[in-house]
Chain A
């Protein structure tokens, strides 16, 4: 083994050392769980329903067995779905609270400037007085439209309009 080859060997080890210790030199956070591939109970129930439909189409399952099993699976699916929805709404509440705390949001209803009727975000006209819908910020009285998520004057988050999807888009 000559000096040259020995140098190459040392070079390999040094290179390996550099590459391998690279991640150690910064503090790596635990990776975010994308969750995209995780199956859920709802998925499972839905796939089972699909198989059942298919077996029924192919005449493997009799009509009464089909109806009965479908009833069970539908119940499972519905329960799983309700759980999903509930978990989501819990999360929505959590996020709303969080955003409100951060932005100094308000829980007070958004009302029509003219008649104090409560307005929904997609109202173009006030259902009570029939005028073009204009709101006043419950905090600073700045005028705005019902579709605003935040007051243009003070930045307060308005009515529960902050839904989950819009947070995710931010």
Chain B
């Protein structure tokens, strides 16, 4: 009964999305506004219907209605109520439904208020955005329906999955579900998937604006670029949070001592983030200098296509094996959709090139413009390397017939130098002026941070002298951090000359230049995240040893003593084997650490849960690797020292803070200007005199 209501709400939502797409296109073509309004109503109304659908799926997961195939697949009696709720995005049907719902929500948010402001673009905007939404809802309805039931044909051993009763079959209700993939049974599941999805789906808004500007021929106007930029920032920050939470989840659950493994699924998230970041920068040049218009539009198209590609990789598992591609209809359908989106958008862009005339004048190669262009080249190059590394196993399998692995060493070697130049540029860019920059002045401005950072890196690097490259990496970080601090100090000094006290100067400086200083804070956050990567790449130490009870193992200044091992049944259907160990630093007791090995009985899957002792300088990360079955007499432990990792998580918070500063609406100065009323405001109707 309940599932039927969910199904009907889903179908109604689908019909509304299709209706909105068709009717807004019609209204835009015939220039009839009431059709556009009708499309808007349909878009807004689809939200509550999809919400009903999502609520019904969630409720069925919570109450374990095992007559539904999806529920039987990802929920189980052994799972805690919290995990049963997160199972909404734990499997394919639920996550695609969740995705469609979020996307619909984004489109509705744009149409909710002040939507008439861009009324030239709106018909096309609704068409493009709702076409995509309808596609995703369509996948949920026709290909991977969460309301599909399990059926059993008497006399056979197989179970069928279908929405409606197949001929001769009887309904089948499983006694228990198989439950979520054990790796997903973690508290981080509450944050990582929804934020990532918000990031992915959010990119549909700037994309739809760009396409509608091209379609309506209004791309000459710059207003849509501003709107796109704001929405890109929303999607971008969610994707950033999703990436960081994903890293944290991997660090806490996967038990390999790191947080970023260059896995295809991680890369799929990283690529739209990279091109989205490139867009956020190139659009600054478009806004301030009227440059790079075609490029900015291309970047939006690329970002959106890559976020679709990301979903494609995640949901079809095509990278881990070509053969999973055509197991369901999802792979081919998705592939065609991405192809059409990408090729269609580029074709449209080429047709409308003439409307995107940019103004270009540059006085010198040494200028902020050049820095921006170089930065964009680097972002694209990194995206290319990541893309190549991600799809290469597939290419290799197609061409040579043997599958190869492209692992972290490749990605580190290939992207490392590019990231290094990018970080350097990040610190230097604010020192460049638009149009032209005198080299001498640049040198003088960078001199003090340069000297300071060399000294800093010499001392710091000596502490990590195991790897010579660390000197360079640490110098880079120190240099950029000092440049950013100097940027703030110089700005404050300029204001303090006018008699403001330091606190007021800082406040006003940031208040009046939110985007500039918000950007600086974001850069600081990125450098902090980079520190974690440097620590991971260069300074990680590890050792592994079998210990009898009471024996200990030493790594650096830390000593780990094995005290006890016990086994007990845990929650969510797992058998827990937990070791008790004591951590000593230079002989002094610090903390008790309890690394675990969980074994999921039903799935027959082990999971290594590390015990972590975090400090700002380094994390002590302990894994229980093996143990003696009888008497628990001796166990093997693996101990990592992960320097600087805490900075990555702290950097995430700084990144969010900076984005908030940059995105906070600036105070409106417009009211004070000399031309409060603009000619556009007055419509011909007023002059007609009725």
- Do any beta carbons of A and B sit within 8 angstroms of each other in the complex? yes
A12/B9 contact (C-beta < 8 A), A23-B41, A30-B33 known: yes
Q: Is the CB–CB distance between A60 and B445 below 8 Å? A: yes
Determine how close the nearest CB of chain B comes to the CB of A164; give it in whole angstroms: 7
Within the complex, which residue of B12, B223, B441, B674 is in contact with A13, where a contact is CB–CB below 8 Å? B12
> 1/0 per position for A12-28, CB-CB distance to B under 8 A?
11001001111110111
Determine how close the nearest CB of chain A comes to the CB of B52; give it in whole angstroms: 9
Per the bound structure, the CA–CA distance linking A133 and B353 in Å amounts to 63
Q: Is the CB–CB distance between B8 and A8 below 8 Å? A: yes
Contact-size category for A: 35 or more
Q: Is the CB–CB distance between A88 and B670 below 8 Å? A: no
Per the bound structure, the CA–CA distance linking A156 and B72 in Å amounts to 82
Q: Is the CB–CB distance between B687 and A20 below 8 Å? A: no
A59/B445 contact (C-beta < 8 A), A21-B38, A91-B682 known: yes
B5 at the interface (CB under 8 A from A): yes
Within the complex, which residue of A16, A21, A58, A95 is in contact with B15, where a contact is CB–CB below 8 Å? A16
A130 at the interface (CB under 8 A from B): no
Per the bound structure, the CA–CA distance linking A165 and B445 in Å amounts to 49
Q: Is the CB–CB distance between A29 and B33 below 8 Å? A: yes
A79 at the interface (CB under 8 A from B): no
Determine how close the nearest CB of chain B comes to the CB of A83; give it in whole angstroms: 10
Task: Give the contact stretch, choosing among B429-437, B547-555, B636-644.
Answer: B429-437
Q: Is the CB–CB distance between A39 and B19 below 8 Å? A: no
Task: Give the contact stretch, choosing among A47-55, A112-120, A121-129, A139-147.
Answer: A47-55
In the complex, which residues of chain A have a beta carbon less than 8 angstroms from the beta carbon of B12?
Answer: 9, 12-13, 16
Which residues of B, 639-690, contact A by the 8 Å Cβ criterion?
A: 670, 674-675, 677-683, 687, 689
Per the bound structure, the CA–CA distance linking A125 and B45 in Å amounts to 65
Which residues of A, 63-102, contact B by the 8 Å Cβ criterion?
A: 65, 69, 81, 84-85, 87-88, 91, 94-95, 98, 101-102
Q: Is the CB–CB distance between A58 and B491 below 8 Å? A: yes
Per the bound structure, the CA–CA distance linking A68 and B417 in Å amounts to 38
Within the complex, which residue of A8, A38, A87 is in contact with B5, where a contact is CB–CB below 8 Å? A8
A87/B433 contact (C-beta < 8 A), A16-B45, A27-B34, A60-B445 known: no
Within the complex, which residue of A9, A33, A42 is in contact with B683, where a contact is CB–CB below 8 Å? A33
Which residues of B, 207-247, contact A by the 8 Å Cβ criterion?
A: 222-223, 226
A to B contact number (C-beta, < 8 Å): 146
Can you name the residue of chain A whose Cβ is closest to the Cβ of B438? A62
Q: Is the CB–CB distance between B288 and A47 below 8 Å? A: yes
Within the complex, which residue of B8, B40, B432, B516 is in contact with A12, where a contact is CB–CB below 8 Å? B8
Q: Is the CB–CB distance between A98 and B689 below 8 Å? A: yes
Per the bound structure, the CA–CA distance linking A21 and B441 in Å amounts to 65
Per the bound structure, the CA–CA distance linking A168 and B459 in Å amounts to 68
Can you name the residue of chain A whose Cβ is closest to the Cβ of B116? A31
Can you name the residue of chain A whose Cβ is closest to the Cβ of B40? A23
B490 at the interface (CB under 8 A from A): yes
Determine how close the nearest CB of chain A comes to the CB of B428; give it in whole angstroms: 11
B481 at the interface (CB under 8 A from A): no
Per the bound structure, the CA–CA distance linking A69 and B437 in Å amounts to 12
Determine how close the nearest CB of chain B comes to the CB of A108; give it in whole angstroms: 22
Determine how close the nearest CB of chain A comes to the CB of B540; give it in whole angstroms: 39
Which residues of B, 522-541, contact A by the 8 Å Cβ criterion?
A: none
Q: Is the CB–CB distance between A5 and B490 below 8 Å? A: no
Per the bound structure, the CA–CA distance linking A94 and B689 in Å amounts to 12
Q: Is the CB–CB distance between B675 and A65 below 8 Å? A: no
Determine how close the nearest CB of chain A comes to the CB of B430; give it in whole angstroms: 8
B494 at the interface (CB under 8 A from A): yes
Q: Is the CB–CB distance between B513 and A24 below 8 Å? A: no
Per the bound structure, the CA–CA distance linking A165 and B682 in Å amounts to 12
A61 at the interface (CB under 8 A from B): yes
> 1/0 per position for B249-287, CB-CB distance to A under 8 A?
000000000000000000000000000000000000000
In the complex, which residues of chain A have a beta carbon less than 8 angstroms from the beta carbon of B16?
Answer: 16, 20
Q: Is the CB–CB distance between A28 and B37 below 8 Å? A: yes
Within the complex, which residue of B5, B41, B223, B487 is in contact with A37, where a contact is CB–CB below 8 Å? B223
Q: Is the CB–CB distance between B434 and A164 below 8 Å? A: no
Per the bound structure, the CA–CA distance linking A86 and B487 in Å amounts to 41
In the complex, which residues of chain B have a beta carbon less than 8 angstroms from the beta carbon of A4?
Answer: 1
Determine how close the nearest CB of chain A comes to the CB of B606; give it in whole angstroms: 43
In the complex, which residues of chain A have a beta carbon less than 8 angstroms from the beta carbon of B1?
Answer: 2, 4-5
Per the bound structure, the CA–CA distance linking A123 and B310 in Å amounts to 73
Q: Is the CB–CB distance between B678 and A40 below 8 Å? A: yes
Determine how close the nearest CB of chain B comes to the CB of A23; give it in whole angstroms: 4
Within the complex, which residue of B41, B491, B687 is in contact with A19, where a contact is CB–CB below 8 Å? B41
Determine how close the nearest CB of chain A comes to the CB of B667; give it in whole angstroms: 14
In the complex, which residues of chain A have a beta carbon less than 8 angstroms from the beta carbon of B682?
Answer: 91, 95
Determine how close the nearest CB of chain A comes to the CB of B377; give it in whole angstroms: 23
B360 at the interface (CB under 8 A from A): no
Determine how close the nearest CB of chain B comes to the CB of A101; give it in whole angstroms: 7
A59/B490 contact (C-beta < 8 A), A5-B1, A12-B12, A98-B687 known: yes
Contact sample, A vs B, 22 pairs, CB 8 Å cutoff? A5-B1, A8-B5, A9-B11, A12-B8, A13-B12, A13-B15, A20-B38, A24-B35, A27-B34, A28-B33, A35-B678, A36-B670, A38-B680, A39-B223, A47-B288, A54-B491, A58-B491, A59-B441, A59-B490, A60-B445, A88-B679, A95-B682
Nearest 6 CB-CB pairings of A with B: A23-B37, A31-B116, A9-B8, A35-B680, A57-B494, A28-B34
Known: A9-B4, A22-B38, A60-B430. 20 other contacts (CB 8 A): A8-B4, A9-B5, A16-B12, A16-B42, A24-B35, A28-B34, A32-B681, A33-B680, A35-B678, A36-B670, A39-B222, A48-B288, A60-B432, A60-B437, A69-B434, A81-B675, A88-B677, A91-B682, A94-B687, A164-B677
- B residues adjacent to A (C-beta < 8 A): 1, 4-5, 8-9, 11-12, 15-16, 19, 33-35, 37-38, 40-42, 45, 49, 116-117, 119, 222-223, 226, 288, 290, 430-438, 441, 445, 487, 490-491, 494, 513, 516, 670, 674-675, 677-683, 687, 689
